[in-house]
Homo-oligomer: A and B are copies of this chain.
């Protein structure tokens, strides 16, 4: 299966210029070619040579001269022969797999970063609906096939998200922890689990959230105890955390979201900046993270739902 087949097919539906073909290929990932004019023009002259297509020069008064190609009878025959061939198997290329598989020397955080970037890209692909992408006047059969294939592509992307999740849960906990600088001897954060009304949540008993690593430690604690609830008392929210410019709060919350963990924080309103209060108002709209004035309120929300 090369690009010639696809081009014959497109030209079989309606006459097109090289540029048209390029646009169609470019606009949908279902045509796995990059939509590369060089290749298309080369292929077009091949097909012309073989007599599979015939070119017609369109000289518009006020538009650049184009060459519009149409399928000939021999071309139609060639297309039909290709259509009847034994179907080739699908192929997947997944560079990120090689990257992670052999990235044993990466720290856990580096791996997280790569996964996060990948997830963002995949979510981007899921968002863009490829709408027409294809020829407008295609017959209903082709449209139905197109439709089904677009759906199957979306399913693949969703499968990728599931894969990401599985890697996060199963593989990353096995990754190298970043090197700890012994001289820093920072007072580390301590977690504990609390059982309340038949439910369990993790909270911070000692120390503060100072680094991204502390966010990961929270995640680890949750996974270890099989819960997905975290209560952050006022004492553990460091000034560093509450200063938005450090982006620490964002990074930690993102980690929690990634692992599907809900968090309730207790906030000393006198200590927080205006900006942080705005941020928290924004956050309160979601249901993954909420701010409360008292520990009792926070716990009540955490154990509800």
Give the B-binding residues of A (Cβ under 8 A). 1, 5-6, 8-10, 12-13, 29-32, 76, 79-80, 82-106, 110, 114-115, 117-118, 121-122, 125, 139-142, 144-149, 151-153, 155-156, 159-160, 162-163, 166-167, 170-171, 174-175
Contact A170 B148 (CB under 8 A): yes
Chain A at the B interface: mostly helix, strand, loop or mixed?
helix
CA distance A142 to B167 in the complex (A): 10
CA distance A185 to B154 in the complex (A): 46
Contact A174 B97 (CB under 8 A): no
Contact B159 A171 (CB under 8 A): no
Which one of B29, B93, B105 contacts A32 once the chains associate, using CB atoms below 8 Å? B93
The 10 closest A-B pairs by CB, nearest first: A9-B102, A83-B103, A1-B95, A144-B171, A88-B95, A152-B163, A141-B174, A91-B93, A87-B96, A87-B118
Beyond A144-B167, A147-B170, A152-B159, 5 extra complex contacts between A and B, CB < 8 Å:
A6-B98, A30-B97, A32-B91, A87-B121, A97-B145
A99-B155 contact, Cβ under 8 Å, with A83-B105, A148-B163, A175-B141? no
Q: How far is the CB of A81 from chain B (nearest CB, A)?
A: 10
Collect the chain B residues with CB atoms within 8 Å of residue A1's CB: 93, 95, 98-99
Contact B92 A90 (CB under 8 A): yes
Q: How far is the CB of A220 from chain B (nearest CB, A)?
A: 15
Collect the chain B residues with CB atoms within 8 Å of residue A152's CB: 159-160, 162-163, 166
Q: Who on chain B is nearest to A8 by CB?
A: B102
Contact B98 A9 (CB under 8 A): yes
A104-B149 contact, Cβ under 8 Å, with A89-B121, A93-B32, A95-B87? no
Collect the chain B residues with CB atoms within 8 Å of residue A105's CB: 76, 79-80, 83
Collect the chain B residues with CB atoms within 8 Å of residue A94's CB: 30, 32, 90-91, 149
Q: What would 21 A/B residue contacts be, using CB atoms closer than 8 Å?
A: A1-B98, A5-B95, A6-B98, A12-B104, A13-B102, A76-B105, A80-B103, A80-B106, A86-B114, A87-B117, A89-B121, A89-B122, A101-B146, A101-B149, A104-B141, A141-B174, A144-B170, A144-B174, A145-B167, A148-B163, A159-B159
